[in-house]
């Protein structure tokens, strides 16, 4: 919100325009108030929506990623009855015009969304205000530690200055003020001390062995649980400040890296919500055991297939503890120290601007990023198609949870973490706390594969790099032939047919309605069990960009598998 009397600077207006357009695009994509279904093209450059009390004209252009249209400018026209159309070009005006009426549930969600938009705007302005200093610090630190997890942590800071590929208010952390963002948010690259909560040892369920540096209490019946200082303050926990263990936030913010050892991370409950008001950043105890179980399963699978045995890596997530309370829990994550001489880059940072004046992927590729992107996409697509078609597994490994590992000789590997959101079919005898992780419908695997692996990890980086002017291929050109080759390598029969029908030749692809499920409407209203897996079947299939390829994969599959049951 603009401070009363403050002059609207160009930078101020530009930030608001960015949020305005991203919010409007998301509302159009998720069909808020019927913006899509009750809209029609009005010439080449406009879309007109007729609601029950107003008519809206939106300037549009073709998109093709998550929706067939997106806005072309941060404005639209609103008209009530026969009144003169009014220009809407401020965020507050947008939030007023598009507010639901006579719907208490929707109005409650909209009030939370208004706060979310204001939080997004404030976070962006604060980050922009301090960006030059942060970038200078990142550049200086990289000169000393360019590789391994120390280098990866610097790139997570850069990624925190970029937008989420889909969610329009990803920089909002609900309830945090400027001082708290500066103290704890990754875009500000702070260093701070953990807090420690004295807890009766009998109340703690501990799995794995704690490291030697873990502080003790001197009392064999009491142990110290690590607590994020923000959580300690907001929940008024009786946490202590000593002994001092300094940490730095990763891109996820609730996970912190030890300042003295960037290969050791702690995932901690955080008293806020991100990517939606309902997306609370606490830690349900069951997610710890589920993530451990899937982590061990994936290690066995990768080790058993020569194509992946030495190329798919996993952080060790076998040490964790909790008291049965999702605000008093932790995961100790250990990364392989053998990565020290490799470049380790989070996928979320590939298209991020680098302090050197290029992008992160150009820096780590030493120029032309296309060979590196080819190697990344080859391995990404092959591994995830293999998991789905051979093993009935779809990972919720989004761009924040995968690191690209570039070894000194130029070889490329992938490093994974956080496996508690995976979906597995019934063949796996793995004990899971969250029953939603086990699926009977193979279509659920297709949805996770498409919305996470394809949209966020494969297509989104290509589109972001293209938007920055890099000569990278379109998603169709980069992905379709890799998907066909992986399908043919790993499956036949019914599995391959499903893959073709739901991915390659589908008329539309599923998209996540992140605003609707995360903030705007309750789960029982929209009928979803998991707010992070609420889909709309309206995404254009960008894999069918070339009309000459449409149906070709189906014909080839039919010829290849004519006799396959």
C-alpha atoms less than 13 angstroms from C-alpha of 515 in its C-beta half-sphere: 25
CB 174 within 8 A of CB 275: no
pLDDT tens sequence across 132-178? 999 999 999 999 999 999 999 999 999 999 999 999 999 999 999 99
Q: What is the pLDDT of residues 41-85, one digit of tens each?
A: 988 899 999 887 889 999 999 999 999 999 999 999 999 888 899
Mean pLDDT, range 228-256, rounded to an integer: 95
Domain boundaries, the chain: 11-99, 131-545
Contact present, 217 and 198 (Cβ < 8 Å): yes
Summarised one tens digit per residue, pLDDT across range 367-395 is: 899 999 999 999 999 999 999 999 999 99
Query: With 50 as the cut, is the pLDDT of residue 217 above it?
Result: yes
* Cβ pair 443, 388 in contact under 8 A: no
Hunting for tokens 């357009």 — which residue is that?
A: 21
The predicted model gives 225-247 an average pLDDT of: 94
* Residue 430: closest CA among 288, 296, 284: 296
Arithmetic mean of pLDDT over the chain: 92
| pLDDT at residue 297, as a whole number | 96
Alpha-carbon gap, residue 556 to 544, rounded angstroms: 15
At 454-481, the pLDDT tens digits run 999 999 999 999 999 999 999 999 999 9
Residue 346: what are its φ and ψ, rounded to 5°?
-65, 140
Is the pLDDT assigned to residue 548 strictly greater than 80? no
Q: What is the pLDDT of residue 560?
A: 42
Q: What is the pLDDT of residue 10?
A: 58
CATH number, span 131-545: 1.10.510.40
Q: State residue 242's pLDDT score.
A: 80
Which pLDDT does position 243 carry in this prediction? 81
Work out the burial of residue 224: count CB atoms within 10 Å of its CB; fewer than 13 is exposed, 13-18 middle, 19 or more buried.
buried
Q: pLDDT tier at 556 (50, 70, 90 boundaries)? A: very low
Q: What is the structure's pLDDT at 1?
A: 27
Structure confidence at residue 561 as a pLDDT band (50, 70, 90): very low
C-alpha distances out from residue 346 to 246, 351, 433, 523, 540, Å: 22, 10, 29, 31, 27
Q: Rounded to the nearest 5 degrees, what angle is found at the Cα of 274, between the Cα atoms of 269 and 280?
A: 45
Is 11-99 a CATH 3.30.310.280 domain? yes
Phi, psi dihedral angles at 110 (to 5 degrees):
-70, -35
Residues 471 and 370 sit within 8 Å (Cβ to Cβ): yes
Q: Is the pLDDT of residue 326 over 80?
A: yes
Q: Tens of pLDDT along 393-447?
A: 999 999 999 999 999 999 999 999 999 989 999 899 888 999 999 999 999 999 9
């Amino acid at each position: 919100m603009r401070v009363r009397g403050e002059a609207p600077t160009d930078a101020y207006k530009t930030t608001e325009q960015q949020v305005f357009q991203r919010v409007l695009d998301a509302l159009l994509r998720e069909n808020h108030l019927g913006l899509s279904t009750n809209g029609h093209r009005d010439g080449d450059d406009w879309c007109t929506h007729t609601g029950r009390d107003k008519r809206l004209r939106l300037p549009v252009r073709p998109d093709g990623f998550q929706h067939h249209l997106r806005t072309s400018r941060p404005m639209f026209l609103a008209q009530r009855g026969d009144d003169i159309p009014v220009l809407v070009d401020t965020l507050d005006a947008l939030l007023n015009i598009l507010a639901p009426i006579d719907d208490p549930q929707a109005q409650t969600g909209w009030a939370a969304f208004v706060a979310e938009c204001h939080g997004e705007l404030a976070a962006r302005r604060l980050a922009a205000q301090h960006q030059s200093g942060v970038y200078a610090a990142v550049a200086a630190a990289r000169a000393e530690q360019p590789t391994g997890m120390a280098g990866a942590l610097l790139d997570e800071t850069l990624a925190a200055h970029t937008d989420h590929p889909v969610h329009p208010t990803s920089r909002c952390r609900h309830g945090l003020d400027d001082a708290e963002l500066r103290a704890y948010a990754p875009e500000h690259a702070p260093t701070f001390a953990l807090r420690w909560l004295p807890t009766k040892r009998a109340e703690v369920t501990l799995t794995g062995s704690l490291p030697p540096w873990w502080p003790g209490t001197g009392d064999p019946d009491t142990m110290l649980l690590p607590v994020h200082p923000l959580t300690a303050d907001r929940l008024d926990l009786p946490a202590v400040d000593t002994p001092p263990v300094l940490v730095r936030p990763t891109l996820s913010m609730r996970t912190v890296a030890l300042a003295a050892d960037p290969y050791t991370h702690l995932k901690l409950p955080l008293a806020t919500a991100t990517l939606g008001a309902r997306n609370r950043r606490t830690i349900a105890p069951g997610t710890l055991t589920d993530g451990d179980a899937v982590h061990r399963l994936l290690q066995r699978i990768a080790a058993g297939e020569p194509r992946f045995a030495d190329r798919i890596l996993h952080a060790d997530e076998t040490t964790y503890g909790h008291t049965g309370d999702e605000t008093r829990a932790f995961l100790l994550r250990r990364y392989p120290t053998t990565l020290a001489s490799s470049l380790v880059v989070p996928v979320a940072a590939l298209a991020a601007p680098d302090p050197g004046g290029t992008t992160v992927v150009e820096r780590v590729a030493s120029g032309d990023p296309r060979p590196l992107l080819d190697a990344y996409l080859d391995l990404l697509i092959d591994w995830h198609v293999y998991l789905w078609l051979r093993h009935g597994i779809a990972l919720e490994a989004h761009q924040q949870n995968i690191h690209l590992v570039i070894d000194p000789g130029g070889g490329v590997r992938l490093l994974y973490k956080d496996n508690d959101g995976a979906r597995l079919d019934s063949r796996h005898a793995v004990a899971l706390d969250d029953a939603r992780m086990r699926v009977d419908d193979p279509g659920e695997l297709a949805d996770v594969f498409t919305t996470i692996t394809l949209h966020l990890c494969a297509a989104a980086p290509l589109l972001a790099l293209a938007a920055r002017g890099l000569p990278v291929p379109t998603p169709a050109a980069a992905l379709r032939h890799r998907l066909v080759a992986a399908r043919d390598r790993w499956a036949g029969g019914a599995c391959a047919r499903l893959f073709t029908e739901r991915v390659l030749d589908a008329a539309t692809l599923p998209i996540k309605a992140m605003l609707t499920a995360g903030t705007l409407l309750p789960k029982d209203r929209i009928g979803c069990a998991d707010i992070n897996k609420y889909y709309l079947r309206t995404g254009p299939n960008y894999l069918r960009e070339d009309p000459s390829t449409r149906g070709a994969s189906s014909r080839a599959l039919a010829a290849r598998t004519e006799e396959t049951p």
